[in-house]
Structure 1
Amino acid sequence: MLLRVTRDADNAPAPDAAAGNASPEPPPSLDAFLADIGPRAFRFAELGLRDREDALDAVQDAMAKLLGYADRPAAEWTPLFWSILRRRMVDLQRRRTFRLRWLLPNQPLDDDAMPDWADDGPDPARTHDGREAYARFADAMTALPRRQREAFNLRVLEELDVATTAQVMGCSEGSVKTHLSRAREALQRQLEDWR
C-alpha cells in the first residue's frame, strides 16, 4: 500500500498521513474488487461446499448478483459480497442434501472427498509441501461446524471486523466471537495432532 505524504514548508508530514489514520483504500472499480476477492471467495466456497463445481457456481452467482449493487459505495461491497456468497452456499447445501436424501434415503452422505489440486508451482517439493499443508488445513476446516468455519474464514482469513462478520453471518457480535473461539480451539487441537 502506498501512503502519499505531502509536506509543508517545514517538511513536516501532513496530518492525514499519520500512521494511525492509514486505512486500506477500496479498489477503484467493482471489476477490480471482484478480481481481487475471487480467488479467496473460491477457496472459502470450496471448503464450505466440498465440491469444486458447486464452489465455482456459488462464486460466479455471488459476483453476478453483486453487479446489481454497483451503485453502492465501495465500502459496502465486501460485507455485501460475503453475505450474498454465504446465502448462495447455504442454498446449494440445502438443495444437495434434499436431493441426495430423496434419492438415497437410507444411504449415508459422503461429501468429504478432497478436491484434486493442480500442480502449479515451479518447485515440485515446495509445491508438494504446500499442497500437503493446505490439505491438512482444509481437512481441519471441513471438520468444523459450518458457523465456526464461516466465522474463522471471515474474521481470520478475510480479516473482516467483528461487526461486519456479524452482519455477513446474520448473527450477533457475541455469537461471532463464540464461533471464532471454538473454531480456533478445534483447529489448534486438530493441527497439533498432525505434527
Structure 2
Amino acid sequence: MTSERDAQFHSFVVAHRAAMVRTATLLTAGDQHLAEDLVQSTLTKLYVAWPAFRRAANPDGYVRRTLVNVLTDEHRRGWRRRERPVAVLPDEPAAETVGGELTEGLRAALRDLPPRMRAALVFRYVYDLDVAATADALGCSEGTVKSQTARALDRVRAVLGPVSSVLA
C-alpha cells in the first residue's frame, strides 16, 4: 500500500524527470550516463527531503540547487575515474546542431569548464534564468554568477572562436 507521500513523489517524478535529465545532460556537457546517475541521486535526495521540498517557495529552484549540489559532490569524489574523450569515434558520424541541440565542439568546450562555470552558463543561457535566479540555484552571490559567466564565455569563445551563436 502506497502512502500519500509516495503518490505525490511518483507524480512529481513522472512530470519532471525528463526535464531533470535534460538539465543534467547539459550540466555534464553531454555525458548521458553521468546525467542519469545525477538525476537518480537528486531524486533520492528529494524523496528523503520531501516535506521540505513541498514547503519550498521555489520548487524549481530547489530541484536545480539539489542537482548542482549532487554534481559538485560527484566531482569531489577521490575515486572517481573518467573516461578519456577522443577526437573521433570510430564508425560514428560527426555531430552537428540538430533542432537546437549542442554541437560536439560546444559540448567539448563545456566539458573543459569547471562544473560551477558550466552550471552558470547552462542556467543563464540555456534556461534563460536571470542573474538572481542563477545565484540562488548555485548558492552564491550575483557578482560570482556574473564573473563566472564572463570567464566561462571567454573560455568557450577561445575554443570555438569569437562568434558562438549558441551562447552569444
Same-fold call, TM > 0.5?
A: yes
Unmatched runs of 5 consecutive residues or more in structure 1: 1-28, 101-108, 118-124
The match for 1:93 is 75
Aligned residues: CA RMSD: 3.5
State the structure with bigger RCO (CA 8 A, min sep 6), 1 or 2: 2
The match for 1:57 is 37
Q: Deviations over 1:148-180 (max 9, x none)?
A: 211101111122221121112121101101111
**Paired AA for residue 90 in structure 1:** T
Residue correspondence of structure 1 range 147-162 to structure 2 within 5 A: 147-162=116-131
> What's the CA shift for 1:135?
1.1
How far apart in 2 are the matches of 1:112 and 1:193? 27
Is 2:58 aligned against 1:72?
Answer: no
Unmatched runs of 5 consecutive residues or more in structure 2: 1-10
**Paired AA for residue 43 in structure 1:** T
- State the secondary structure of the residue aligned to 2:79: helix
Q: Deviations over 1:81-117 (max 9, x none)?
A: 111011111111112xx125xxxxxxxx765426xx9
**Paired AA for residue 42 in structure 2:** A
User: Does structure 2 conserve the Cα–Cα contact (< 8 Å) formed by 1:38 and 1:59?
Assistant: yes
Point out the structure with max Rg over C-alpha: 1
**Paired AA for residue 36 in structure 2:** L
> What's the CA shift for 1:80?
0.7
**Paired AA for residue 30 in structure 1:** F
How far apart in 2 are the matches of 1:171 and 1:111? 30
- State the secondary structure of the residue aligned to 1:66: helix
How far apart in 1 are the matches of 2:83 and 2:18? 29
Question: How has the CA–CA distance of structure 1 residues 167 and 128 changed in structure 2, closer, same or farther, with 3 Å as cutoff?
Answer: closer
Q: Normalized against structure 2, the TM-score is what? A: 0.68
- State the secondary structure of the residue aligned to 2:58: helix
Q: Deviations over 1:10-53 (max 9, x none)?
A: xxxxxxxxxxxxxxxxxxx7346514522422313432xx7543
